[in-house]
Amino acid sequence: MRMYDIIKTKRDGGALTKEQIDFAVTGFTGGGIGEGQMAALAMAIWFNGMSERETAELTLAMARSGDSVDLSRFGTKTVDKHSTGGVGDKTSLVIMPIAASCGAVCAKMSGRGLGHTGGTADKLESIPGYKTELSTARFLEQAEKVGLVLATQSGNLTPADKKLYALRDMTATVDSLPLIASSIMSKKIASGAHSIVLDVKAGGGAFMKTADDARALARVMVDIGTRLGRKVRAVVTDMDTPLGTAVGNALEVREAVELLRGRGADDLKEVCFVLAENMLELSLGMGKDEAEKAVRDSVSSGRAYKKLCEWIAAQGGDLRCIDDVSLLPRAARVLEVKAEKSGFITAMDAEKIGRCAMSLGAGRLEKDMPIDFAAGIEMLKKTGEYISAGEPVARLYTNKNDAGNAEKLYLSALETADTPPEKRKIVIDIIE
């Protein structure tokens, strides 16, 4: 078999066999196939796409390129969740304790934030003492004892995806549906959970800018997972406006804790509850009504909050900061952003708000850059609300002496009008 022929087949619109896909992925991961040829194949896929069968086979080849987590001892109770990334998305911190308190096993690998979107591992590390790096033995032991563990990806999980993603980043081939779907799903398959709930974000702050594009990505990922023997469901949710009221690591932990104590913003609660319900339906075989009731009861009874505390303590986090969230890292400076004109907020540009949080120190532009856990934004007014000129609309938290044009950037993200906007659906679709 020659890589040349594989590239030519895809360039000419043909379909690749499983053997050809395995050959390309194994060769590229091992170094026998160079970046030039792999980049040519990625570009041919970008132009000509892949069938569902080819996409599933690419996913499996990447999932098998390195280590995988064996969760088979937990039977079918394991459930993972993945978000395609957004601004203010702290749903994992809420839904994993809910699902685990109802009997599901959540053993999750999570990434760090990059660019304007955040990562769950960073948010958790804003809790003093919380360890995100665990050995496989510790990871499994905690899953067994607590039913809930979240760690950063082990060194050798899906090395093929790591290498290919970096190459796609350099060769303008990231935005290809089969390449995105196989990249995400390869990590989920290697992470071992029997059920997977995907939160596919749609809107200005997301990878997929329209609901139809998000639905298309969701369908491909659900198809891949199902072909590979997993139970998968995708919830398409709005990411035109940041989720909830906080953006930034410690601020988001605080918001998640408050939601589990029975408070919290309606949009965040709606997304979290729908995701958690779907997790319970898939992993524990609950019906829709039963799952809905279980989720609500777990929060109102305090069981989900208790599970959160058990989880954080098991990973070394200082529980005093959960009990009293004012002990979480706090920024030295708080800047109040005041509305320049009166009107109803009709839109909040999630990407701009994410960039604003990053400029305050809450995010990183490049991999491995340090971040400031205390930095971020508290949104005091959201889409649909009326604001009067001079009224505070947000608080910006930073440890930087010079926050640059962060206030201006925040204000530029808001659009206002004399009449209120139509209410947008936050949960757009569920793809089974």
Q: Which of 375, 195, 224 is nearest to 285 (CA)?
A: 195
Task: Please tell me the distance from the alpha carbon of residue 399 to that of residue 219, in angstroms, as a whole number.
Answer: 42
Site string for ligand URA, 180-219 (x = CB under 6 A): x--xx-----------------------------------
For residue 253, how far is the Cα from the chain centroid? 15
Q: What is the DSSP string of 250-289?
A: HHHHHHHHHHHTT---HHHHHHHHHHHHHHHHHHH---HH
Question: Which helix (H) or strand (E) is 57 found in, with range?
Answer: helix 52-63
Q: In the bound complex, what is the minimum distance in angstroms from residue 168's beta carbon to ligand URA?
A: 7
Q: In the bound complex, what is the minimum distance in angstroms from residue 68's beta carbon to ligand URA?
A: 16
Q: Which is nearer to ligand URA, 79 or 184 (CB)?
A: 184
User: Count of alpha carbons within 13 Å of 350, Cβ hemisphere only?
Assistant: 25
Task: Please tell me the distance from the alpha carbon of residue 160 to that of residue 138, in angstroms, as a whole number.
Answer: 25
Q: Which of 83, 126, 183, 186 is catalytic?
A: 183
For residue 152, how far is the Cα from the chain centroid? 13
For residue 285, how far is the Cα from the chain centroid? 24
Q: Which of 10, 81, 112, 187 is catalytic?
A: 187
Window 290 to 329, contacts with ligand URA (CB under 6 A): none
Q: Which is nearer to ligand URA, 97 or 354 (CB)?
A: 354
For residue 46, CA distances in Å to 41, 42, 168, 175, 211 come to: 8, 6, 10, 8, 21
The residue of the chain with the least Cβ separation from ligand URA equals 183
Q: Which of 80, 89, 122, 161 is catalytic?
A: 161
Q: In the bound complex, what is the minimum distance in angstroms from residue 84's beta carbon to ligand URA?
A: 7
Q: Which residues neighbour 330 within 8 Å (Cβ) at sequence distance 6 or greater?
A: 250, 374, 397
Q: In the bound complex, what is the minimum distance in angstroms from residue 294's beta carbon to ligand URA?
A: 30
Interaction between residue 393 and ligand URA (CB under 6 A): no
Q: In the bound complex, what is the minimum distance in angstroms from residue 109's beta carbon to ligand URA?
A: 12
Q: Which is nearer to ligand URA, 86 or 147 (CB)?
A: 86
Q: Which of 162, 168, 201, 219 is catalytic?
A: 168
Window 145 to 184, contacts with ligand URA (CB under 6 A): 165, 174, 179-180, 183-184
Q: Which is nearer to ligand URA, 78 or 158 (CB)?
A: 158
Q: Which is nearer to ligand URA, 239 or 339 (CB)?
A: 239
Site string for ligand URA, 78-107 (x = CB under 6 A): ------------------------------
Is residue 224 within 8 Å of 55, Cβ to Cβ?
A: yes
68 is catalytic: no
How many residues touch ligand URA under the rule CB under 6 A: the total is: 6
Task: Please tell me the distance from the alpha carbon of residue 185 to that of residue 87, in angstroms, as a whole number.
Answer: 21
382 is catalytic: no
For residue 358, CA distances in Å to 86, 120, 355, 376 come to: 13, 15, 5, 8
82 is catalytic: yes
Task: Please tell me the distance from the alpha carbon of residue 341 to that of residue 406, in angstroms, as a whole number.
Answer: 18
Q: In the bound complex, what is the minimum distance in angstroms from residue 32's beta carbon to ligand URA?
A: 23
Q: Which is nearer to ligand URA, 132 or 183 (CB)?
A: 183
Q: Which of 81, 82, 307, 381 is catalytic?
A: 82
Q: In the bound complex, what is the minimum distance in angstroms from residue 155's beta carbon to ligand URA?
A: 17
Name the DSSP letter for residue 126: T
Name the DSSP letter for residue 327: G
Q: Which is nearer to ligand URA, 146 or 164 (CB)?
A: 164
Q: Which residues are catalytic?
A: 82, 161, 168, 183, 187
Residues near ligand URA (CB under 6 A) are 165, 174, 179-180, 183-184
